[in-house]
């Protein structure tokens, strides 16, 4: 391995690379330590979602060369797939080097004879998805590492429908990228006439589209002074969310000034991830001072949103992604029904690790809810496949990503913020808080509670440990979880659903994915899934119970939390 690493590193000291890169690699070679190995022991994999990794020199790092090679492979595939003129849209987030990587991406496309619509400054990922279809592009790229730590960046590739790459394009693009042997195979010399800067004209069209998806304008008008605190966590949400809320009619929106400025170092947070309570600390403090009704915070590329609402004690309480997703689907379906828009041809969608409560809410109005693999691209693929046959109402995933309608084909935190604010106004107009609406939902459909444990295992040894954990679970599945027998094993890698009592098997009906799911006699579901974008393995827990008395909400919640803790103990995760 040492010889392979050294051989690969020495190639990066040639004249094919710029002087700064050459000197940086020479320094790593002279140290001959762990960083050299991590930077060169493998090529950064262009996966089904694109690239994501730590920024730096080397084949296993995000830099202008790995970005350039990925772009060349994508450009070659686009040219093989379409006749005539081809165009792409390109956007980037607030991360360090994101503008540089976006510019290099545009230059490689332009040098390859593909017109590049390049956003003149940072924009949310969902706006990039919108722009692809709005501009009639055949594909697109956004430079972002979503909510990852500051040392990361990434490259998401999109197809002409505005969704991220799915089969067969994902594997075909990977194949083309693998054919690029090095920077010498990349066309770097751009025809500047093939690069067109875009901005405000797309913003206006995007916002108009978002406003068209709103369902309760009368509630917004009545509650226009709803007190809202929003934070972009130094990311792209600040470009669109406050403006869109204002255009919709909300007049009392405050932002967290310390976090308004785009900054790839994310100086006020440990992690710019709205899934983590610490990320919204400043917003919560500001909201308490102002007596705000609602707190919302988006991640750096504004495709995820975390929220806090007032609980029964009047305290601000953070909601997890399953709670917010359930609220949104409940609101969307209820308003569609009240407006007479349901005609039996609508559907919702969620991922296999997202609460079953969304399915129960949907099916109560005879709206089918489809399960897809983890990754919003599969919801986008479903929308595309059902286009002209069934209409997408909304849906999402437990990791704080949601969508309504088909204006965008990726999770959209800008739209989600608009709908959450509108939903809050609608609830208030009906004499309730969102927290009370959530209790209504649990009273009617069952009290579902979910949790997530994410275990980080970095580097080569970490990847091996994660693989070993998954193999152990496959070979020796748990027999009982919190005193309830495990009845069913769903192995999405083999595509088999096994009845552990009889041994009978059926098909999952979904594409292969390295995911294991266990279901017990009392309806508990536990899922193990290695992350496709981070060095992590994630364990998802879903338990449920009846809520017979609204006054027992906190008691039942505590019982369910204790049950999750017992399951985690059974699995050796605590």
Do 547 and 556 contact (CB within 8 A), yes or no?
yes
146 is catalytic: yes
Mark out the alpha helices in 32-149 (DSSP H runs): 34-40, 64-81, 98-111, 125-134
Pairing of strands 152-159, 50-54: antiparallel
Q: How far, in Å, CA of 546 to CA of 361, rounded? A: 15
What are the DSSP calls for 193-250, one per residue?
GGEEEE-HHHHHHHHHHHHHT-S-HHHHHHTTT--EEEE-TTSTHHHHHHHHHHHHT-
Do 458 and 535 contact (CB within 8 A), yes or no?
yes
The single residue of 39, 94, 112, 146 carrying the catalytic annotation is 146
Q: How far, in Å, CA of 291 to CA of 13, rounded? A: 58
Strand ordering across the sheet containing 139-143: 50-54, 152-159, 139-143, 87-92, 115-119, 195-198
Residue in the structure block whose two tokens are 């403090």: 285
Q: Distance of CA 362 to CAs 66, 381, 403, Å?
A: 43, 20, 15
Do 239 and 207 contact (CB within 8 A), yes or no?
no
Phi, psi of 125 (to 5 degrees): -55, -45
| Residue 282 C-alpha from the chain's centroid | 23
Q: How far, in Å, CA of 214 to CA of 553, rounded? A: 31
Task: Name which of 358, 361, 354, 397 is nearest 377 in CA terms.
Answer: 397
What radius of gyration do the chain's Cα atoms show? 24
Beta strands in 337-483 (DSSP E): 346-351, 369-372, 391-397, 401-404, 447-456, 480-481
Do 279 and 273 contact (CB within 8 A), yes or no?
yes
Q: How far, in Å, CA of 56 to CA of 45, rounded? A: 15
Task: Name which of 541, 532, 551, 180 is nearest 378 in CA terms.
Answer: 532
Could you list the active site residues? Answer: 146
């Amino acid at each position: 391995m040492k010889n392979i690493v050294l051989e690969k590193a020495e190639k990066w000291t040639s004249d094919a690379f710029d002087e700064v890169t050459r000197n940086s690699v020479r320094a790593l070679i002279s140290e001959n330590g762990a960083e050299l190995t991590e930077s060169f022991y493998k090529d950064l994999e262009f996966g089904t979602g694109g690239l994501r990794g730590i920024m730096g020199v080397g084949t296993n790092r995000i830099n202008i060369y790995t970005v350039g090679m990925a772009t060349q492979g994508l450009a070659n595939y686009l040219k093989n797939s379409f006749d005539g003129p081809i165009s792409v849209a390109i956007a980037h987030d607030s991360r360090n080097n994101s503008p540089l990587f976006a510019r290099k991406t545009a230059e490689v496309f332009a040098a390859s004879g593909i017109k590049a619509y390049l956003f003149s400054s940072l924009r949310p990922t969902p706006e990039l998805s919108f722009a692809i279809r709005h501009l009639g592009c055949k594909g697109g790229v956004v430079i972002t590492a979503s909510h990852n730590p500051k040392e990361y960046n990434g490259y998401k590739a999109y197809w002409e429908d505005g969704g991220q790459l799915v089969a067969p394009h994902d594997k075909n693009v990977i194949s083309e990228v693998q054919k690029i042997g090095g920077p010498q195979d990349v066309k770097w010399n751009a025809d500047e006439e093939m690069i067109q800067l875009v901005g405000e004209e797309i913003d206006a069209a995007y916002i108009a589209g978002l406003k068209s998806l709103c369902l309760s304008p009368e509630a917004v008008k009545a509650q226009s002074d709803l007190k809202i605190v929003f934070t972009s966590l130094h990311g792209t949400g600040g470009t669109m969310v406050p403006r869109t809320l204002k255009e919709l009619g909300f007049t009392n929106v405050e932002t967290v000034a310390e976090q308004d400025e785009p900054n790839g170092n994310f100086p006020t947070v440990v992690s710019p991830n709205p899934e983590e309570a610490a990320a919204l600390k400043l917003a919560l403090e500001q909201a308490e001072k102002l007596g705000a009704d609602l707190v919302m915070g988006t991640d750096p590329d504004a495709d995820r949103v975390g929220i806090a609402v007032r609980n029964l004690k009047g305290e601000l309480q953070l909601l997890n992604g399953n709670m917010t997703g359930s609220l949104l689907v409940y609101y969307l379906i209820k308003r569609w029904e009240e407006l007479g828009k349901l005609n039996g041809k609508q559907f919702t969608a969620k991922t296999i690790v997202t609460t079953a409560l969304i399915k129960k809410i949907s099916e109560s109005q005879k709206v089918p809810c489809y399960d897809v693999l983890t990754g919003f691209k599969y919801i986008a693929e479903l929308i595309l496949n059902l286009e002209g046959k069934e209409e997408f109402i909304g849906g999402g995933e437990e990791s704080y990503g949601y969508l309504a309608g088909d204006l965008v084909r990726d999770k959209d935190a800008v739209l989600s913020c608009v709908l959450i604010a509108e939903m809050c106004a609608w609830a208030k107009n009906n004499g309730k808080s969102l927290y009370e609406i959530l209790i209504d939902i649990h009273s009617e459909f069952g009290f579902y509670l979910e949790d997530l444990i994410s275990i980080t295992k970095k580097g080569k040894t970490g990847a091996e440990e994660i693989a070993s954990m998954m193999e152990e679970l496959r070979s020796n599945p748990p027999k009982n979880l919190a005193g309830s027998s495990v009845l069913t094993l769903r192995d999405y890698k083999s595509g088999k659903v096994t009845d552990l009592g009889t041994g009978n098997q059926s098909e999952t009906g979904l594409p292969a994915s390295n995911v294991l799911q266990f279901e017990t006699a009392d309806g508990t579901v536990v899922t193990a899934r290695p992350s496709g974008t981070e060095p992590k393995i994630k364990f998802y827990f879903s338990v449920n119970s009846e809520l017979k008395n609204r006054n027992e909400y906190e008691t039942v919640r505590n019982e369910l939390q204790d049950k999750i803790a017992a399951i985690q103990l059974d699995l050796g995760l605590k």
